[in-house]
Structure 1
């Protein structure tokens, strides 16, 4: 893989396909894609309403040194034909609608830990990398409310 970010719909989908391909070739447990917080939001985006459930498998700590919660940017992981993401209740409703448009995708697990504000969702994605890339790009835009020009990063492959 030679590039790790993209900011147009076509380039983002290509990046997702490349990340999935690299992940499979390397035999890694998953690949992680994240929205760049600097380009993620629409001008009228209400950042207070967007808080992901902490539970990413990336081992990151969502808290600052002073104990305050730091908002994580939207992220989506793919591994073993499964998408993994966190969302708020509002985002979950948008996600269910989006999954309904992809017949090869199915919500397999919803987990809402007591200590997290949100739900971790596992979606089986029995589709080729191109179809998964279409879903991921739309999820960043339609579920997380990211702007048309959001930059998506492949942060782990």
Structure 2
């Protein structure tokens, strides 16, 4: 990989697919995608949203409203399924694990939908590949 961020929808899809391919080629422990912090959406003290991918599993944290939206996105990807929800009492979020066995382009499309539809990012949001 030669670039690690993108804001254009087409370039983001390409970035996600390339990062997933690099993750698979390197057999790395995980891949982390992180959206640019937006105080209007995230609040001042909240971290920017992130999505991790490892082998065939997406991992992300969501609040209750985001979980509802995530269920809708997963419904649009029949080969994907939510396998695990963890909500520790002291945490404000639910950790979600989604099994997703598919090609890099379909996985990339899912990740982009998570940032846009679940985390409320605009079409021109910036994202970074934080770890491969």
Show the counterpart of 1:28. 28
Show the counterpart of 2:17. 17
- Tell me the matched-pair count: 132
* Larger strand proportion of the pair: 2
Show the counterpart of 1:78. 53
Structure 1: which 4+ aligned runs deviate by more than 4 Å?
Answer: none
CA RMSD of aligned residues (A): 1.5
Distance (whole Å) between structure 2 residues aligned to residue 119 and residue 107 of structure 1: 12
Higher Cα Rg, which structure: 1
TM-score (structure 2 length as normaliser): 0.95
**Are the equivalent residues in 1 in contact too, given 2:41–2:120 (CA < 8 A)?**
no
Classify 1:90/1:22 alpha carbon distance in 2 versus 1 (closer, same or farther; 3 Å). Answer: same
Equivalent of 2:96, from 113, 118, 121? 121
Tell me, which stretches of 5 or more residues in structure 2 are unaligned? none
After superposition, give the CA deviation of every residue in 1:96-146 in whole Å (9 maximum; x if it has no partner): 000001001000000001121010000000111100100111110000001
Distance (whole Å) between structure 1 residues aligned to residue 4 and residue 78 of structure 2: 29
* Larger helix proportion of the pair: 2
